[in-house]
Every structure is written in C-alpha cells, then in structure tokens.
Structure 1
Amino acid sequence: MTQPPHGQWPPRGAVQPPPVHGQPPAQWQGAPHHFPPPPPRRSVGAIVAICLGAVAVLVLGLVAIVSLNRDDSDHVANAGYSTLPNTPSQAGLPPSGSSSPSSSTNPFPSSPTKAPSSSSGPQKILKLGDHPILQDPNAGLRNRVCTLPQWQSSQQAAEAFFTAAGKCLDNAWGPFLDAYDLPFTPPALHFPTGASFETECGTIQVGIATAAYYCENNLYVPFRGLQTDQYGNNPGVYLALFAHEYGHHVQEVAGLMDAAWQKIYDAGQNSPAGLEMSRRKELQAQCFSGMFLGAHVDQGGTVSRDMYNKAWNDQETRGDNTSRSQDHGTNAHYASWWRAGASNNRIADCNTFSAPSSAVS
C-alpha cells in the first residue's frame, strides 16, 4: 500500500520590491492552487502491518529570483516561538569573513545512545517529539564542503546539479543517522523528461506544480516542473527546494514520517488535528533544509553566500498564505523554521512535533 502525497511545496507569491530595512515585507499573495482530492482513509492496523508503506510527496516547485539581502536583527530560533539575543550576524546570514553561521566543533550527538539492533539490523524508530535524533541540544550536521556544477537551465545541467547535491545530502545526513543506528540508505534519484512519469504511488502529471516528487525512497525531479524559463538562475532556491524534499527522506528513514502518518490517519487527513500534523511534518522538512544549507555555506565549496541569502529570503514567500491551504504553515512559520535550521544547525531546533500549536499554525 502506498501513502498519498504527504506534502506540497507551496507556490511562490508574486515578486515584490525589496522591503524597507527594519520593516516586515508586505503579505505575499498568490493564485489559489487546487490540490488533488485525498484518498480514502486506510485503517491504522493495515498501515502498521506494513510499516506504513510508502511516502509520496508532491512539491509545488515554483521558484523565483529573489535577490534581496535583508539584515533583520531579530532572527528566530525554534521556529517562531522564541527569539535569540541579537548577535553581530545579520538575520542568520553569515557575516563577512566568518566561516558558517552554524559552525560547530561537536556537530554530531555528544553521546549518542544507539537503539539495540535487531537480528535484521537497524530499525526505524516510530516516534515524534520524543524521537532520539531530536533530543541532544548540541547535535547537528557537520560543516562540509559541497561542490556543485554551475547551474544552467537545461535538462542535462539540472541532472548534474541535483545528482551532485544528492551526494552532498547523503554525506551530510547519512553519518548523522548512522550515529543513531537508523537504517539510512540514499534515495534513488530520477529525472523524468515526459509530460508524466510512473511511480509506485501512481502516474504523476508534470506541470507548474510539480518540481519534485518523493515516493518509496525515490526522489523525482522533472526538469519541466522547475519552470526555469520563468524563475531563472537561482541555484540556492533550487537547492533549498531539493533539500526540503530530501528532508522528507530523512523523516522516512528515521521513522518520523510513519509515526506522523499514523497520527494523520487516526485523526483524518482533513481534520484540524490531521492538518496540524501535516504542518508539523512539512515545517520540520523546512528546518532540515535550512540545516543543510547552513552547514555547507562558506565552507570552500560552491554553496556560496549569495545562494544562501537568496534561499533565506525566498522562504517567506511560500506557505499557506500564498497557496491558500492549511497543510504547510503560514508563510511566516514556513520561513522561521527554515531559518532556525539554517542559523543554528541544531536538530533539536527542528522539533516541530513538540512545538506549541501557535508555532505551527
């Protein structure tokens, strides 16, 4: 049994002039998007019997050039329900001459307690807020060099870019998850070229709403869905989108995704509780995406300050305010969770499942 698409990347709002320094941006508005109807609810027993099956993700991948370099001084930690003291850095952007905004001498768990392995090897841990990977306040991704090909808006160049990005993500998240004795395997990457493509979750039509799709440990990136003719040369924005999708793979490998889906099915996908659980899941993937870019910017590779800054600013243009949905979180929360991960590179800051409801609205 496969699971339905568990999340969609909200479309970007219309491009606005850069905000005046010190003032919040005007509300981004976008056209409504019609999502496919949810599938009928399955029984929880059936889901548990097969470890909750597959996970599919349809990501609305409309990306656009955002060249702002804003320097808000009140950047948010823990995704909108607490603030950090003011620091010399500008809104989490790495100051000139620094290493990374999230450099760490002890990025991995300080004293990981591995779950006992069964005779069949490492197993997922079906927990949410109390999941072991979310408990150590000092645990994060190692600062690494990530070298990517120069972005060009062509099928072949995009395949090379995302293939290299996938290797960087594997090298970042694989050792982290291995430290907790979780069954990490990289997702298989696919680059469909047609008007539709087949997955274990069904036939997916490629359109302006399909930039990436995750299903059953497979990550699909149809070049046509990126709309590069409209959204241009913005590798940082594309990288953040891809890292968000990969964040769902991290959730899947860890067992967070299965545990979240069990709660969603119990409550009903379109119930208030089910929609809130969907938002918690999506906002955590946002935070994981931010962690990745924060750990790799200014490390000597090709994840540049410009890429990081544009990804940083792009986040506030996405979310439920733009897509007029209720399953991703407001634009403000969509940005604040990404920035929490990018600023501090601490996975405990990505514990959306223990956050108050007001932080995931």
Structure 2
Amino acid sequence: MPPRKPTGLIVGLCLGAVAVLALGVVAIVSLNRGPGPSNAGYQAAPPSPSSAYELPPTSGSSAPSSTPTSPSESPSTSASAGPHKILKLADHPILQDPNAGLQNRVCNLPPWTSTQDGAEAFFTAASKCLDAAWGPFLESYNLPFTPPALHFPTGPSFDTECGTIQVGIATAAYYCENNLYVPFKGLQTDQYGNNPGVYLALFAHEYGHHVQEVAGIMDAAWQKIYAAGQNSPEGLDMSRRKELQAQCFSGMFLGAHVDRGGTITRDMYNKAWNDQETRGDNTSRSHDHGTNAHYAQWWRAGAKDNRIADCNTFAASASDVS
C-alpha cells in the first residue's frame, strides 16, 4: 500500500478559516468552535452511560470463535498464527457482538493546567488509561495491540511518517502510523482554559484511530479510499465513516470511565458531550468528517451505551454518515 495521503480538510475550524494541509495528514481534530454559544442545542443533563460490559468469548489465548480466518489461512492454522490485523470494515469481528464494550474502570488523571508540562502529564496519564481500556479488548480478538508512541512537539512544525506538519490553530492532535502527536500550541488553551473533558475527548478520538490501526480497519478503509479516489464521493464517504467511528470510540472511553471513582467526573463528561456538536463539516465547510449533528450523534452513541457494535459506521446508511 502506498503511503497514506493527507485528508486535507480539518474538523472544527471557525467559519472562513478552513486550512488545507499539504502533507500526510491521517487524522487531525481542531479545537476551534464554530460561531454561537458552546452549549447551543444540547441537553442540559446527558444520560448516564451504561455500566454493562462483556468481553468476547475466548478460550485461553486463542482468537474468539467469531473471528473469521484470514483468506490466506486455513481454519486449522489460523488459531496458531498469532495476533494479526484483520482487514475488514462492517463485518470486522470486533463490531459484531451487541454486548461487547469497554470495561468500566477507574482512570486517575492529574489536574489540568494550561502549560506544556501540565498538558504532557495529563495526556500521558490519559494514554495509560486508554491502553488499559483498549489493549485487553483488542487482544481478546487476537489483534496485535501495542500502545501508540506519544509525542509533544514544541516547535512551529514537526516531522512524521505522513509528512511535515505545521503547528497552528488547525492542529490540536494528530495520529499517524502508531504515533500520536499533541502539540500544546495547537490546543488553544487561551480559549478553552480549564476544560479537561474537551481535551480528553479530543485525545480519545485520536486514540480511536489507533484502535482502527491495530484492528486493521484503518488499512481496509484506506484501501477503499485509494481505489475510489480521495476526493470522490465514495472516497469522502469512506473518510467520514472512519472519522465518525473514531468519534464513537472516544465516547465509549469516556462513558466507560465516568463516575467510577477516578478523576473523570460527571462535569467532564457533560462538557465533552455538549462540545461535540460544535465540530464537523458544517463548521469546517468540508465533506470528509461528517456533519456537526452526526459528529455529535456518533460520539454520544458510544458514550451513552458503551457498545462497540453501535460504532459500526461502515454498516450505517449513507444518511447517518453524511
């Protein structure tokens, strides 16, 4: 597969300020809001997330019984092949069990402070919680989980396998090939201040792309995008499905960890819930991430019920991923 190309348009830019990156963007989310109050049109009290949870059935360290064999393997050899990606989309094994979700866990994060060191401490701790949540889940499907490498760029640009990325208001977090970048200068802390729920949801979205990478969903999606053409209607549709699934995965993480005795509080959850509809293609005037309404819809679906089958954007109708 050739190197992944830039998605180009960025979620969450203020109207009239859409930026196009020239190199290698796999997934970027901006913190910029659209016009109007941040809580316009939201429920005052989001529903409590579900606490039920099941891992897929396993037998020892083998793959779950629902995991299909690779096309290049026979049924008798697939179980001993070791962890491997499965390049599937709507029919991916992790998306089939209606009762599977993330385990409800305690996550302790340091208090948010709007400094380089404070942000690094916060996101480093958050990454450990995300590893602990998603690692066992993915490994139970015999997928090759390793945590992403974290980077906290401080300069005006940073180099990645996807190209050189300029830091600005359009670059709050960035994922590329098992690496997660969080440039502090892109977080716009002067606008958001002490709002850790918003920052955590943003970070969990980018980590959601790592989940897709480990599972093989990311590779399968990019194969479709390359085949159709990145800016074709089919390519943009696939891009939206990929991004909206990462939204749902972000919601799952916060829903599984709120009010569990750690530091992810109901206030953080509510503010993240209320922030989601300020982001999306209506704000950025692009067509590759989903409308603001769908951006919020898929995040909230994950947050409310914590069921990964609810995150199957690849099986959704076109009207739900527009």
Match of 2:18 among 14, 24, 33: 33
1:52 alignment partner in structure 2? none
Aligned-partner Cα distance in 2 for 1:294–1:162: 18
1:122 alignment partner in structure 2? 83
1:102 alignment partner in structure 2? 50
Summarize the alignment of residues 64-213 of structure 1 with structure 2, pairs less than 5 Å apart. 66=38, 70-71=42-43, 90-92=45-47, 94=48, 101-104=49-52, 106-110=53-57, 112-113=64-65, 114=67, 116-117=78-79, 119=81, 121-213=82-174
Is contact 1:287-1:350 (8 Å) kept? yes
Aligned-partner Cα distance in 2 for 1:219–1:103: 29
1:273 alignment partner in structure 2? 234
Aligned-partner Cα distance in 2 for 1:343–1:174: 21
C-alpha distance after superposition, 1:95-139 (max 9, x if no partner): xxxxxx2201x43225632553454x2110000000000000000
Once the two structures are TM-superposed, the CA of residue 69 in structure 1 deviates from its matched residue by 10
1:59 maps onto 2:20 in alignment: no
1:316 alignment partner in structure 2? 277
Once the two structures are TM-superposed, the CA of residue 249 in structure 1 deviates from its matched residue by 0.3
Match of 1:339 among 295, 300, 303: 300
Q: How many residues align?
A: 304
Is contact 2:280-2:289 (8 Å) kept? yes
RMSD: 2.1
C-alpha distance after superposition, 1:243-265 (max 9, x if no partner): 00000000000000000001111
TM-score of the superposition, structure 1-length normalised? 0.79
C-alpha distance after superposition, 1:83-103 (max 9, x if no partner): xxxxxxx542x2xxxxxx220
Partner of 1:283, secondary structure, is helix
Unmatched tracts of structure 1, length 5 or more:
14-29, 40-54, 73-89, 95-100
Aligned-partner Cα distance in 2 for 1:183–1:321: 36
Is contact 1:108-1:176 (8 Å) kept? yes
AA of the residue aligned to 1:71: Q
TM-score of the superposition, structure 2-length normalised? 0.89
1:225 alignment partner in structure 2? 186
C-alpha distance after superposition, 1:61-84 (max 9, x if no partner): 336994689537xxxxxxxxxxxx
Aligned-partner Cα distance in 1 for 2:57–2:41: 35
Summarize the alignment of residues 255-334 of structure 1 with structure 2, pairs less than 5 Å apart. 255-334=216-295
- Segments of 4+ in structure 1 off by > 4 A? 6-9, 63-70
C-alpha distance after superposition, 1:132-171 (max 9, x if no partner): 0000000000000000000000000000000000000000
